[in-house]
Structure formats: C-alpha cells, structure tokens
Structure 1
C-alpha cells in the first residue's frame, strides 16, 4: 500500500513542479498563495495525514506576523502552509532535496547558510523587508528537528526582525498523533534519517493526525529584547504541547548593541 502512496506523492510533486513552472508566471501573488495552500493541503493528505487546527475563538492566524513553531518534521512546512501560506526560512541544504528543494525555492523559501555572516545579514534584511511588505514569515527557532515530546532551546537572533518590522510574533505548536491521541513516532525526522527514508516511514504508518495549535500573538515594541521574546514563544509552545519536556536552558546570546545586532544572527541556526 505504501508503494501506491509513494507513487501518489511523486505525481503530486511533479504537479507542483508544473504549477511553479507554467502557472506561477501567469498569476499574481494572491493566486500563488492560493495554489500553495491547496497544493500543501493535498500533499499532507496523500501522505495519509489529517490536519486538525486547535485554537480559541479569539486566536486566529495573524495576517502580518513572524510565525515561529517547534520543529518535528519536513511535514511541518506543508501542514502550516495548508492553513495559511508563509514565507519560510530554511537551511540551505534543503535546496538539494529531490523535487521538494526546487519547489521550496520556487515558492519563496529563504535559504540560509550556517555560519556565513554576509549571507545572514542578507537574510535578515530580506526578512524585515518581507514583514514590512505585509508577508507572513515563518521559521523554526530550535534550528533543527527534535523528537516529539521535547522542545529544544530557541535561538533568539531572528526574533529581532519582528522588533524592527514592528509586527507580532505568533507561536504555533505542532504534534503528530495516532487514532488514540498518542504521539506518533513515524513523524519524527531526527538523527541521520534522510528525507526519502522519512517519507517512506510516514507512508508506512498508515495515517496520523497533525494537530496544529495556534497560540496568542506576542506583541513587540520598541525596546523589546529578542531573548525575552524567544523565551516567551518557547514557553507558550512547550505549554501547549501535552507531555512535552522543555529544554529550558537558553541558547547563549552575544550582548549586541542595537547597531550590531544583525551580526549576532550568524550564531543562529534557523530552519
């Protein structure tokens, strides 16, 4: 059965390639966003995943915000995009993933090379410009995937973009569960597992539910500090995930002045 599922996924990926190559040049930004939302929803569906959105009536997806989430799997991007498309920040090696890497590039993903100061400055400036333009930008401040039930410390550097653009930070909490509501281990994308191995594991699982919790936006203001914002987002996400264990020790942050804070982003590992 998972062989049939793999065929369906590959066909859907090629449909996405065709859409990016031949349809995107003919439609406006709003049309591209609608295509991304529909395509992402279909991808998680053909992977056997049902998406369930958890939120209180007074919490909705912010139309202009920096979105941050815990990071479980490559699936996270598409689960979030099936709700409201975002422009994601991702590590540069994702660009080399089969099919998915090209699709991510064509849908506006911002790739970042770890440890390259000039690249990080360029990314930071692009983030601020995108937020000023009213886009929803998203990244995973843990900097890597973590096994479900654990929330790693957050890198705080890219939170500075929300302060400069004067937009709120909206935390999302994501988990993948089985029919009994237990965390599903097949979703974990950790260690030396490759993208293809992870996809096959998900398809063999025979279905699961992605529960995406939308949490109250965290307002930013002049004088806000990125470390405090990162800690607030981390605490909100860890609290929203049942049975999670938060790694509470903050990642060490250099003490930058306002004029030099962009340089500090080089130490982060956004994904």
Structure 2
C-alpha cells in the first residue's frame, strides 16, 4: 500500500502565467528539455559500456546526472546554496521532501541514488529518468521486506549513497512531517549495522520575492505539468538551500525508531531555524 499524499487545509495557489510567463516557459523550457534529454541520451549510451564492465558500479554516469542537475538550476534561474560537509563514509542520506525539485537539488551537490516507491517507475518522463539514473524502486509490501533489504545491501556495499525521503510524501515546504521508520530497518542487519552511516539533510526552498512561502511546494493531487509550467514561467525565482548535518553511525542507535527520531530532529531543527529567520 502506498503512502497517502499530504494534503493542505488551503487550496493550492492559482497559476497565472500571462504572456510574459508563457515566453519564459519557452525560453527556459526548451534549453531545460535539451539539457535533460540530452543528458539522458549520453547517460544511456555510456551505460551500455559501463554496465558490462562494472556491473552495479557506476564510475562515470553519476557525473552526468550531477552536471544536468546543477545546470538545470542555472536555466531555471533558481538560486542554489549549501552548507555542511558531505559524508565520506558508506551509507545513506535522508531529507525532507518539498517537490520534484528536491531531486535536482540533492543530486546537484552530491552523487546519490534515490529510493522511490515502485509506482514512480511507471510515470511518463520522470519514471524513465529515474530508472536510467539507478533509482532503487521499492514496494511497501511486508512480504518483500527481505528481498528489498538484500537490494539495499548490494547497493550500499558497492559504495552507493542511497537517498530517501522518510516523510513518505512531499509537502508545501513549510513543515517537516514525522519520519517513517520502515526503511531505516534495512540498516540494522548484521552485515550493515557496523559499517553504515546516515546523513540527515535539511532542504529549504525560499520563494520568489512577492510570492507565497509555499510557492515551490508540490503536494496532494497537484499535477506535475501545471507545477512545471508555474516554475518555468515565474518572473522572479527564489532559491533552494541545503544543510548537510553530521552523519549518524547506525551502531550508535538501539533501533530504527531511535535513528529515525535523531535524523528527523536534525532536519526539523535546521528547517525551523531558517524559516524563522525569514
């Protein structure tokens, strides 16, 4: 069963592009499409060589994904900044979830592999990109828990940094929801517990001047297409800020609930502080 989407008590803000907005959609949308799909073609071509030579290892293609994500923000005009040290140890990264823009932001600073619900693999466009970039797809099915843990172990032992959103859904970006503990369980196996670290990351979106604070939020039943047009057509853009916290060693925690609570507190505290400063 998939997680229910978070819903706001207020209706989403109306999308009003106007003539200038549509011009910006074209001026930003065309180069963004060229960047994304050009990068995808290059990635798939290199993967044809990379896969037979290195198997699950991906020594080249993650750099293509990172290049695409960094330059996507330049094309969109969205500011990007980050602070904190990147984790060098073997392990996973967890962050709060605001919108599809999180994927670009978190990949722009660090080469990661996302963990996503299985349904995403079937989404047009996003699903193809996710599969090509090595996303790990999971089913929220207890009967497949052991199988998915083995997949996690294989990827983590290969040195991949797996990234997932423990909230289980995206929000308006004004809050951090309680972290679900299910995926943390995989890190407590005998094979991984003593070598695993988890790095919490706070992702904060700052709205364009004059726009609602939740401008970049994508939640509930909001469709991807209109949200993309709204982002492309914004006359002014805001910025995204990433704060990387100290990695937590899994063996220092008694169980998945304790580890999840620690990561949630770190993400929530920094997120709240930044929002209060605005």
The structural deviation recorded for 1:84 is 1.3
The structural deviation recorded for 1:132 is 2.1
The unaligned stretches of length 5 or more in structure 2 are 1-23
- Secondary structure of the 1:134 match is coil
2:207, 2:215 within 8 Å by CA — same for their partners in 1?
no
| TM-score normalised by L of structure 2 | 0.79
In angstroms, what is the RMSD of aligned CA positions?
2.3
Aligned to 1:13: 36
1:65, 1:169 within 8 Å by CA — same for their partners in 2?
yes
Return closer, same or farther for 1:183/1:64 CA change in 2, 3 Å cut-off.
farther
**Aligned ranges for residues 217-236 of structure 1 at < 5 Å?**
217-221=247-251, 224-236=254-266
1:175, 1:183 within 8 Å by CA — same for their partners in 2?
no
Aligned to 2:95: 69
Structure 2 CA distance for aligned equivalents of residues 132 and 162 of structure 1: 12
- Secondary structure of the 1:151 match is coil
2:27 paired with 1:4: yes
Aligned to 1:202: 231
| TM-score normalised by L of structure 1 | 0.81
- Secondary structure of the 2:199 match is strand
The unaligned stretches of length 5 or more in structure 1 are 246-271
- Secondary structure of the 1:150 match is coil
Aligned to 1:101: 127
1:48, 1:203 within 8 Å by CA — same for their partners in 2?
no
2:239 paired with 1:213: no
Aligned to 1:130: 155
Structure 2 CA distance for aligned equivalents of residues 222 and 213 of structure 1: 22
Output one character per residue of 1:43-84: Cα deviation in whole Å (capped at 9) or x when no partner.
Answer: 2332332220022xxx33334221100000111122111111
Number of equivalences: 241
Aligned to 2:48: 25
2:43, 2:64 within 8 Å by CA — same for their partners in 1?
no
**Aligned ranges for residues 170-209 of structure 1 at < 5 Å?**
170-178=199-207, 184-205=213-234, 206-209=236-239
Structure 2 CA distance for aligned equivalents of residues 60 and 93 of structure 1: 30
The structural deviation recorded for 1:220 is 1.5
Return closer, same or farther for 1:162/1:35 CA change in 2, 3 Å cut-off.
same
